[in-house]
Chains A and B, each alone.
Chain A
Amino acid sequence: MTAWHVILLASAATLALKLAGHLVPAGFLQRERPARIADLLTVALLAALIAVQTLGAGQALVVDARVPAVIVAAALYAVRTPFIVVVAVAALVAAGIRFVA
C-alpha cells in the first residue's frame, strides 16, 4: 500500500459515511444506543491518539519533552485558551526542553 492508497481509501470511507447520513432515511443512528456509541467512539479514539502521540515511539513507550508539553496544554485548555495558541505553546515547550537538554 502506498500513501496515496491510504489517503484515497480513507477519504472514500469518510465521504461515504457523510453521504450515508444524508441519504439513508432517519432511523438506526437516531436510536439512543447507536448514537451514544458513535459519540463515545470519537472520545475514545481521540484519547487513545493523545496517549500514543504523547508516549509512543514506534512500539516503545518513552517519557520525554512531549509529556510536560501536553500537561501545559491541558492546563491552558482548562482556562479556555484558544486552540491555536495552546498548540503553539505546546510545541514551544517541547522545543525549549529539547533545546536545553
Chain B
Amino acid sequence: MRTARRDGLAVGLATAAYGISFGALSVASGLDLWQTAFLSLVMFTGGSQFALVGVIGAGGVAAGGSAIAAAALLGVRNVVYGMRMRPVVGEHGLAHRIAAAWVTIDESTAVALAQSTERAARVGFWVTGIAIFVGWNLTTLAGALIGDALGDTRAYGLDAAAAAAFLGLLWPRLTKLQAGATAVMAAVVATIATPVLAPGLPVLVAAIVAVAVGWFDLFRRREGA
C-alpha cells in the first residue's frame, strides 16, 4: 500500500515535468493561455494534447479536422485502459466512474497494474491519477506563461523540442520488433506524404500502417526462439 502511494507520487512528479513542455509548445503553436489550460484540464491525456498542438502548429486551424482525428486516435488506447481499470476501481456511482475515467491515462494504469494486491492497485491508480492531474495542470500553466514570454519560439529551438518530446513519448513503447517496424514505416509514410497532402493528413495516413501491421500481426518475432 505504501509502495503504491510512493510509486504514484514519484510517477506524478516526473510526469508533471512534461507539462512545462506541453504548455510552452501549445502557445508556440498559436493557442492562447486559456485554450492551453483547458486542454490539460479537460482532455488530460498527454499524447493527444501534444498531437493536437503539433498538428495545429504545423497546419494552423485549417488543419483542425486532422488535429481532432489525431488527438482522438491517440486516445484510443485509453479505451483499453478503462476496461482494465474498471474492476480495479470497483462498482460505484456515476460521478465516481466519470472521475475514474477522467484520470485513466498511461501512468495511472501502469502504476495500478504494477501492484500485487487489489487494494494497492486501487490506491496506486487514484494517487497517480490525482497527483498527475494536479501537477500537470500547474506545470502546463507555468509552461504557457514561459512560452508566452519567449516571443518567437523557433529561435529558442522549441520546434525541435516538440519533436524530442514526441520521441520521449514513443521511446518506452519501442520494446518489440513489431512496434519498432511500425514506427519506422509510419515515419517514412508521413514524410513521403508531407509534400503531397494537406498539413495534418500525413499523420493520419501513417495510422493506416498500424492498422495493417496490427490486423495481420506482421513483424512478430516468434517467442522462445
Contact = CB atoms under 8 A, between A and B. Distances in A.
- By secondary structure, the B interface counts as helix
Nearest to A4: B35
B80 interface: yes
Contact of A1 (B18, B64, B77, B213): B64
Contact of B211 (A37, A61, A98): A37
Interface in A39-53: 39-53
Contacts of B207: 41, 44-45, 48
A92 to B, nearest CB: 6
A65 B56 contact: no
B77 A10 contact: no
- By secondary structure, the A interface counts as helix
Contacts of B64: 1, 3, 5-6
B121 interface: no
Interface in B176-199: 178-179, 182-191, 194-195, 197-199
A29 B159 CA distance: 35
B186 A48 contact: yes
Interface string B186-225: 1111110011011100110111011101110100000000
Contact of B210 (A14, A29, A41, A70): A41
B170 to A, nearest CB: 4
Given A21-B80, A29-B80, A91 B156 contact: yes
Interface in A6-65: 6-7, 9-11, 13-15, 17-24, 26, 29-30, 33, 35-56, 58-61, 65
B80 A66 contact: no
A45 B206 contact: yes
Interface of B: 14, 17-18, 20-21, 30-32, 35, 38-39, 42-43, 45, 47-48, 50-52, 54-56, 58-59, 61, 64-65, 67-68, 70-86, 89, 97-98, 100-102, 104, 154-171, 173-174, 178-179, 182-191, 194-195, 197-199, 202-203, 205-207, 209-211, 213-215, 217
**Complex A-B, nearest 9 residue pairs according to Cβ-Cβ distance, in ascending order:** A21-B82, A94-B157, A37-B214, A90-B164, A48-B206, A94-B160, A48-B190, A69-B160, A95-B157
Given A44-B207, A49-B203, 18 more contacts: A3-B35, A4-B35, A7-B39, A29-B80, A39-B214, A41-B210, A42-B76, A47-B187, A47-B190, A49-B54, A51-B202, A52-B202, A53-B159, A53-B162, A53-B163, A54-B163, A56-B202, A84-B17
